[in-house]
Amino acid sequence: MLLSLRLGQECCKAPALSVRADPACASIDHPNGHSLDMEMRDIVTGNFAPPQWIASGPKSLRIVDWNIDRGQQLQGVTDFLVGVNADILTLQEVDFNARRTHRLNIAETIARKLEMNYVFGREFQELVQGSKDSPAYHGQATLSKWPISKPRLIRFSRQSHFWQPRWFLPTIEPFQERLGGRVALVAQINVAGRKFVIYNLHLESRGSDALRNSQLREVLSDATRYDAEYPVIVAGDLNLDASREPASLTLARAGFRDAVASPRTPTTPTHGLFAGRRRIDWAFIRGPLRSSSGQVHGNVKASDHYPLSFMMSR
């Protein structure tokens, strides 16, 4: 999503990579005998944006939100992102060391190409895509030309059991066996002294709208820790139509407004004969912000979702 935002004061960055553990998830053994490898931990960060020595922030920022389908068409993904020249990216379905994406850290590859900082949050360990000695992961990534701080995960309390390993299924493709669960990646962005918070969501695809609405409510409940006038963005692949109740009512009561404002425009292409185009990717804003120029980029074919963009200002 394209976001434009008035903000203001100084920032700097040095190339670095760090790994963080969630103390609540130091080690997980699955009853079927699989062990969740925690070498990567829950959060990985890297800083590749050049220093920006400015006294006041830009008049506007540009934000893109996109489910990039693991980065399997990475060249097409980066071509679009280079062309749109966003300040902030919220990406879903991002691979880390998976066979299908050539063992790349997709978030870092994009961040290096665009000269941005990034934070990656682990959603699943992909058992089919890695090995015991070289595990693979899948999750969300938030990228920024500005400093990113205080990254954390909300690992939803209600999850689908669809992905968990089954004793009768081999750990080979096309099976998609996983350990972990859906998350929201939360991070603070500091644009020249002005701060805002972004929630990067991927709600469950294999479950009911009741499950997805429960996960959405968990995010909105977490957002109440910030003052009502504090700028907050909630964006991502919600896997539901958020223009309909109860999601629309829940968001409105929490003070969030649709930033793209094109609720009938599909964000996915047709899948096969029976799965039509759907509007399941969304961005919402709260606080003293205005959005404009919302767009679904339906001509971009580098994923099974279309990128969203909007401009936002104070």
| pLDDT, position 262 | 81
Q: Report the alpha-carbon distance of residue 173 to residue 190 in Å, rounded.
A: 41
Pairing state of beta strands 28-29 and 35-36?
antiparallel
Q: Does residue 289 sit in helix, strand or coil?
A: coil
Q: Does residue 111 sit in helix, strand or coil?
A: helix
Residue whose structure tokens are 């603070």 = 188
| pLDDT, position 314 | 79
| pLDDT, position 178 | 78
| Count of structural domains within the chain | 1
Q: Report the alpha-carbon distance of residue 235 to residue 258 in Å, rounded.
A: 10
Do 65 and 308 touch, CB atoms closer than 8 A?
A: yes
In a domain, residue 7? The reply is no
In a domain, residue 5? The reply is no
| pLDDT, position 264 | 83
Q: What pTM was computed for the model?
A: 0.86
In a domain, residue 32? The reply is no
In a domain, residue 9? The reply is no
How many Cβ atoms are within 10 Å of 165's Cβ, its own excluded?
A: 18
Q: Report the alpha-carbon distance of residue 28 to residue 180 in Å, rounded.
A: 9
Q: Report the alpha-carbon distance of residue 114 to residue 95 in Å, rounded.
A: 18
In a domain, residue 2? The reply is no
Q: Report the alpha-carbon distance of residue 137 to residue 71 in Å, rounded.
A: 13
Do 182 and 122 touch, CB atoms closer than 8 A?
A: no
In a domain, residue 274? The reply is yes
In a domain, residue 8? The reply is no
pLDDT tens sequence across 105-162: 999 999 999 999 999 999 999 999 999 899 999 999 999 999 999 999 999 999 987 7
CA distances 269 to 200, 217, 281, 293, 303, Å, are: 22, 27, 12, 22, 9
Q: Does residue 190 sit in helix, strand or coil?
A: strand
In a domain, residue 189? The reply is yes
| pLDDT, position 194 | 87
CATH number at residue 245: 3.60.10.10
Do 235 and 2 touch, CB atoms closer than 8 A?
A: no
Domain span holding position 121: 16-27+37-313
| pLDDT, position 172 | 58
| pLDDT, position 21 | 53
Task: Note down pLDDT in tens along the chain; length 314 residues.
Answer: 444 333 333 333 334 455 555 443 433 344 444 334 445 579 999 999 998 777 677 888 999 999 999 999 999 999 999 999 999 999 999 999 999 999 999 999 999 999 999 999 999 999 999 998 999 999 999 999 999 999 999 999 999 877 676 656 666 566 568 799 999 999 999 998 889 999 999 999 988 999 999 999 999 999 999 999 999 999 999 999 999 999 999 999 999 999 998 878 999 997 755 567 889 999 999 999 889 999 999 999 999 999 999 998 87
